[in-house]
Amino acid sequence: MKFLLSINYIIWLVASAIFFAVGEFLSKKFSLSPKFLYVILILIIYSLGVLAWLPAILQKNQLSIVGTMWSVLSLFTTILIGILIFGEKLNIIGIVGIIFAIISIVLLSIS
């Protein structure tokens, strides 16, 4: 347990968000080509994301801050996958929203 708490909570949040984004990627792949293997992989990846979340909430112990940071990080990684891998487009309002999301992470991490 001591080892888990020695790693900064932001690193755990980033790891959890990445697992979530990979789960989103696999969900999109499943929607394009439904296979049972995708369902199993999605469950495993989402479970790993939850396990990475636990040390972050244990370390910071503020659900309002950690939960918001996780939401924004997972949203950001999901957007990157949509744009970079699946060629999805963002409009100006989406870009402004991402900028505000980044600002919120910065503000929450220093509070």
Contacts of residue 2, defined as CB under 8 A and 6 or more positions apart, other chains included, come to: none
pLDDT digits (tens, 9 = 90+) for 50-77: 999 999 888 888 888 888 888 888 888 8
Cα dihedral sign for 77, 80, 30, 93? positive
Q: What is the pLDDT of residue 40?
A: 97
Where exactly are the structural domains of the chain? 2-110
pLDDT digits (tens, 9 = 90+) for 8-24: 988 999 999 999 999 99
